[in-house]
Amino acid sequence: DIQMTQSPSSLSASVGDRVTITCRASQSISSYLNWYQQKPGKAPKLLIYAASSLQSGVPSRFSGSGSGTDFTLTISSLQPEDFATYYCQQSYSTPGFGPGTKVDIK
Amino acid sequence: QVQLVQSGAEVKKPGASVKVSCKASGYTFTSYGISWVRQAPGQGLEWMGWISAYNGNTNYAQKLQGRVTMTTDTSTSTAYMELRSLRSDDTAVYYCARELSVGASYYFDYWGQGTLVTVSS
């Protein structure tokens, strides 16, 4: 199975900050990497698919990059509604999620 | 609009079974697969398996093989997930999610609201 790791596991940031979350796969997964946002008590929401494609309706301050084993999710200017937990998910083989990165208010 | 509406919360005893439903609307049910993902309290997301709503083909997570069965009823656009021989560590919120395939890639673009299954004696 392909193992997914994320760093950091949590971070504190302020509104307006630029935030970067990293996801690493245990083997090359090409660009088969998706990102989700989850708020407490809610279902996950798709943000980015195929490493860098923005899902319809998702604000353009979210962007994704990377290929192979290393990927990043960037929030260019953090907004109050962005405080949440973010998960990466590989779709190269049997689906697997990263452990998540919690973004909270500094 | 696309909606996935799941059945309500369940409380089960260890060793029992649970069957969760996921009713789809707003799209052609048989054109997409459905995956099931669970989340234990305070934990991350765990993929459980997938079913094709087109032909019923399934693919289950290895750790759940033999305990989980996923089915669909195309007449009602409903997907089902049954988990047997429940244990306390099966306590989780269970989500269904529509799987969209684009070329060789796929992702989960719509999710149900989640169903809390509590396993307790």
Q: Give the pLDDT score at B37.
A: 98
CB pairs under 8 A between A and B: 56
B83-103: buried (b, 16+ CB within 10 Å) or exposed (e) per residue? beebeeebbbbbbbbbbbeee
Cβ-based contacts of A89 with chain B (< 8 Å): 45, 107-108
Cβ distance A46 to B114 less than 8 Å, yes or no, reads no
Is residue A81's pLDDT more than 90? yes
- Give the residue-averaged pLDDT of A15-43: 97
In this prediction, residue B40 has a pLDDT band, given cuts at 50, 70 and 90, of very high
Residue A106, pLDDT score: 86
pLDDT at B54 (0 to 100): 95
At residue B105, does pLDDT exceed 90? Answer: no
A 5-34 near B (Cβ less than 8 A): 31-32, 34
For the segment A83-93, the average pLDDT, to the nearest whole number, is 96
Q: Which residues contact B46 (CB under 8 A, 6 or more apart)?
A: A97, B37, B38, B39, B40, B61, B92
Residue B45: predicted pLDDT: 98
**What's the angle, vertex CA A48, arms to CA A18 and CA A41, rounded to 5?**
85
Report the pLDDT averaged over residues B106-113.
Answer: 97
**How many whole angstroms separate alpha carbon B104 and alpha carbon B74?**
25
Whole-number Å distance between alpha carbons of A90 and B41: 23
How confident is residue A44, by pLDDT bands cut at 50, 70 and 90?
very high
Please check the confidence at residue B27 and state whether its pLDDT lies above 90.
Answer: yes
* Residue A1 CB burial class (10 angstroms; 0-12, 13-18, ≥19): exposed
pLDDT at B111: 98
Phi, psi for residue A11 in degrees, rounded to 5: -155, 150
- In the predicted model, what is the mean pLDDT of chain A? 97
Measured CA to CA, the distance from residue B11 to residue B90 in angstroms comes to 11
Q: What is the model's pLDDT at position B96?
A: 98
Q: Which one is predicted more confidently, B17 or B105? A: B17
pLDDT of residue B102 exceeding 90: no
Q: For residue A36, what are the contacts with CB-CB under 8 A and spacing of at least 6?
A: A44, A45, A46, A47, A86, A87, A88, A89, B45, B108
Q: What pLDDT, in 10s, does the model give residues B50-95?
A: 999 999 999 999 999 999 999 999 999 999 999 999 999 999 999 9
Q: Rounded distance, CA B52 to CA B32, Å? A: 7
A6, A89, A92, A93, best to mutate vs chain B, most B CBs in 10 Å: A89
A61-67, long-range: CB < 8 A, 24+ apart: A62/A35, A64/A33, A64/A35, A66/A23, A66/A31, A66/A33, A67/A30, A67/A31
**What's the pLDDT at A2?**
95
For A86, nearest residue in chain B (alpha carbons) = B44
Sorting pLDDT into bands at 50, 70 and 90, what band is A67? very high
Q: What is the pLDDT of residue B88?
A: 97
3-state secondary structure of B41: coil
Chain B residue whose CA is closest to A36: B108
